[in-house]
Amino acid sequence: MQIKRALVFIILAISFTLVSSVSAQTLRFDPDPYFPVDEQFTLPLLLEAGGLDVKGVECIITFDSALVSLESITPGPWYSESGQEFFFWDYTEPGTSVLHFASAMLDGTNNTDGAIALCHFSFVGFGSCDLVFTEANVRDANNEPLSFALDNGLIVLDQAINTEPVQFSTLKAIYR
């Protein structure tokens, strides 16, 4: 009886370890939700590698173009500060509601966590703008797919956030 309990405990521990190691790899926006205070703002897309060697990433993400406009996507520090040669291509069509980029390390892999892309947006309207992954491909050194969780993002554009410069005396008068 004791051997059966010990065996069940060992099997459960191994299963938990395997499940938790798979779910440690994530693509997500940071912070989430994001409350921009300026008319133009940058939102990092983070890769949490969980120790896996990552060679490349391609993402397609939709957003509401009536609320935000994507100005550009640039490589994040995960690439630019890695010390390695890399490829980064922004496939996004201007004026659309789809963010699309592909990227890869050219002379190795990276197994650290960090911002893989910086998404540069402009304020267009007010409301809640979902950032939804429609496709994400993360690849290893052999160009084989890796399993990553996708954590959609949210940008909250509130009318209470004033994007125009104001003099201090004007603000002071509001609170009198």
Are 123 and 162 in contact, with CB atoms under 8 Å apart?
A: no
- On the question of pLDDT at 47 being above 50, the answer is yes
Using CA atoms, how far apart are residues 127 and 66, in angstroms rounded to an integer? 9
- Residues present in the chain in total: 176
Q: Does a cis peptide bond (omega within 30 degrees of 0) precede residue 44?
A: no
Sign of CA dihedral 16, 21, 26, 30: positive
**pTM confidence score:** 0.77
pLDDT score recorded for residue 23: 47
Beta-strand pair 56-62/127-139 = antiparallel
Residue scoring higher pLDDT (59 or 21) = 59
pLDDT score recorded for residue 16: 43
Instruction: Please name which of 43, 34, 110, 111 lies closest in space to residue 71, comparing C-alpha atoms.
Output: 43
Query: Confidence class of residue 11 from pLDDT cuts 50, 70 and 90?
Result: very low
pLDDT score recorded for residue 32: 85
Instruction: Please name which of 52, 114, 57, 111 lies closest in space to residue 80, comparing C-alpha atoms.
Output: 114
Are 29 and 42 in contact, with CB atoms under 8 Å apart?
A: no
pLDDT tens digit string along 30-40? Answer: 988 999 988 99
Residue scoring higher pLDDT (78 or 173) = 78
Please report, for the chain, the start and end positions of each structural domain, with discontinuous segments joined by +: 26-174
| Stretch 21-26: mean pLDDT | 66
Are 22 and 149 in contact, with CB atoms under 8 Å apart?
A: no
Instruction: Tell me which fold the domain 26-174 belongs to.
Output: Immunoglobulin-like (2.60.40)
Q: Is 176 exposed, middle or buried (0-12, 13-18, 19+ CB in 10 A)?
A: exposed
- pLDDT, averaged across the chain: 85
pLDDT tens digit string along 120-152? Answer: 999 999 999 999 999 999 999 999 999 999 999
Beta-strand pair 149-151/26-29 = parallel
pLDDT score recorded for residue 159: 75
Region of 24 (left: φ > 0; alpha: ψ -120 to 50; beta: rest) is: alpha
pLDDT score recorded for residue 24: 73
